[in-house]
């Protein structure tokens, strides 16, 4: 993989205590036209940075004498214009989150592929590869009212984020500390998930779904990422079409909704790109299940924007809830759908625990219900349960790989029904 565009002769500093690693990286980067300096001594790094002013530093996390994270802090304080990519042979998502918060442009895990390394360098040195529109710059969320398109708008602008953002938390099902690093992506990239090594990617497409039991799971070979639906829902609601998501194992549950994802993405800045994308438009009615009162079914029919009518039917204390939602602009999603949290029943949580699931379910990230009432929180909406079902539905619909325009009518459905509809929609086009 050779990425055109960077200036021949730009200086890269490789900092690693293993001579073999330094030699290998020096050879790869020299072949790419860089001027490469290297050192295995942490105490020499700041002098080299001050004297040589490298454009990029490849910095090992585990350095003798001075910790790599501390070196990162010093580099960004004294030479903020120098980009830093952290490298680790014992990395985890928590150290990656810490490094990114301190200003690292990326974090890659050994052993990494040449393609993964050069891809990371390309994103660091060529921010324009994100494909931002030269005439628009950063646009506020909702600057285009018809985020889902309209009858007269056949395509919509592609979007990414202006800068990387990190979000840490706990996995709902694994119970492990986890996090995501969200990075800008060039036009046409779509949404992809990758581990810290960057040596494999899983496009967020329905063909990569491997499980829909209690969450939506994507996989490519041995790499698997669980509970993607809340993040995917936020991306659908905000109209973000291109994004690279680095994570290990499971996307964090946060407060059980998509609201914190929306806040992080808008804080990073939603960036309009020059390219456009053709939404998936429903052109004829499609039904999954038997469409009758009280039955489990989902139906799609033509409309000029994304509209959802959802009916939730549970025994008391939840009962019957009906919600009508129209996606005119991202603010509609942020106000009406994103805050709705996932929910579960106490008796069901015990069953999930026996199955090894919901180990991260806490009093602050799941609405818990017993036979009589909600037991751990105050509802954000009277019909919050049905709104969360719409949240999940929007996330699953985005596994078509593009925004969806149509009227979705659903009753008593879950992830498997949503994805059955996604497959039927893709077959129809």
Residue 385: C-alpha distances to residues 5, 32, 204, 236, 388 (Å): 49, 54, 25, 20, 5
Looking at residue 204, what DSSP letter applies?
Answer: S
What H or E segment, with its residue span, contains residue 288? strand 286-289
Identify whether 415 is a catalytic site residue.
Answer: yes
Do the Cβ atoms of 398 and 236 come closer than 8 Å?
yes
Cα–Cα distance, 64 to 62 (Å, whole number): 7
Q: ∠ CA(316), CA(317), CA(323), 5° rounding?
A: 90
Cα–Cα distance, 224 to 427 (Å, whole number): 25
Cβ within 8 Å of residue 331, ≥6 positions away: 141, 142
Q: Rounded to the nearest 10 degrees, how much is the dihedral formed by the CA atoms of 94, 99, 104, 107?
A: -40
Cα–Cα distance, 375 to 349 (Å, whole number): 13
* Residue tagged 């049905």 (tokens): 386
What H or E segment, with its residue span, contains residue 49? helix 45-52
Other CB atoms within 10 Å distance of the CB of residue 136? 13
Nearest to 225 by CA among 93, 364, 123: 93
Cα–Cα distance, 91 to 241 (Å, whole number): 28
> What tokens were used for 375?
């037991």
Residue among 230, 236, 407, 415 flagged as catalytic: 415
User: What is the distance, to the nearest Å, from the Cα of residue 373 to the centroid of all Cα atoms in its chain?
Assistant: 34
| Residue 131: φ, ψ to 5° | 75, 30
Q: ∠ CA(357), CA(288), CA(326), 5° rounding?
A: 85
Question: Could you give the residue numbers annotated as active site?
Answer: 415
């Amino acid at each position: 993989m050779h990425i055109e565009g960077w200036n021949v002769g730009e200086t890269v500093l490789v900092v690693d205590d293993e001579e073999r690693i330094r030699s290998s990286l020096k050879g790869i980067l020299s072949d790419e036209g860089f001027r490469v300096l290297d050192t295995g001594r942490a105490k020499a790094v700041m002098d080299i940075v001050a004297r040589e002013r490298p454009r990029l530093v490849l910095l090992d996390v585990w350095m003798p004498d001075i910790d790599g994270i501390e070196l990162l802090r010093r580099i960004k304080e004294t030479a903020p214009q120098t980009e830093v990519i952290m490298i680790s042979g014992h990395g985890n998502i928590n150290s990656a989150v810490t490094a990114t918060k301190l200003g690292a442009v990326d974090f890659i895990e050994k052993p990494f592929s040449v393609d993964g390394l050069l891809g990371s360098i390309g994103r660091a040195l060529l921010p324009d590869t994100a494909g931002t529109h030269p005439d628009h710059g950063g646009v506020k969320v909702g600057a285009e009212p018809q985020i889902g398109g309209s009858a007269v708008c056949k395509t919509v602008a592609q979007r990414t984020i202006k800068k990387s953002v990190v979000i840490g938390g706990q996995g709902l099902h694994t119970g492990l500390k986890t996090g995501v690093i969200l990075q800008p992506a060039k036009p046409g990239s779509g949404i992809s998930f990758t581990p810290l090594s960057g040596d494999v990617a899983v496009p967020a497409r329905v063909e990569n779904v491997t499980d829909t039991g209690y969450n939506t799971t994507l996989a490519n070979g041995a790499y698997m990422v669980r509970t993607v639906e809340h993040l995917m829902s936020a991306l659908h609601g905000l109209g973000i079409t291109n994004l690279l998501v680095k994570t290990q194992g499971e996307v964090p549950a946060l407060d059980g909704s998509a609201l914190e994802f929306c806040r992080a993405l808008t804080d990073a800045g939603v960036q309009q790109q020059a390219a456009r994308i053709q939404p998936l438009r429903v052109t004829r009615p499609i039904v999954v299940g038997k469409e009758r009162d009280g039955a489990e079914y989902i139906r799609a029919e033509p409309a000029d924007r994304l509209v959802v009518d959802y009916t939730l039917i549970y025994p008391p204390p939840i009962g019957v809830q009906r919600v009508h939602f129209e996606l005119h602009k991202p603010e509609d999603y942020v106000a009406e759908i994103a805050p709705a949290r996932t929910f579960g029943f106490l008796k069901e949580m015990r069953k999930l625990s026996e199955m090894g699931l919901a180990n991260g379910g806490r009093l602050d990230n799941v609405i818990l219900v017993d036979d009589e009432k909600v037991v751990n929180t105050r509802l954000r909406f009277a019909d919050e349960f049905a709104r969360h079902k719409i949240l999940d539905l929007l996330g699953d619909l985005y596994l078509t790989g593009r925004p969806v325009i149509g009227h979705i009518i659903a009753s008593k459905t879950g992830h498997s029904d949503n994805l059955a509809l996604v497959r039927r929609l893709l077959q129809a086009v």
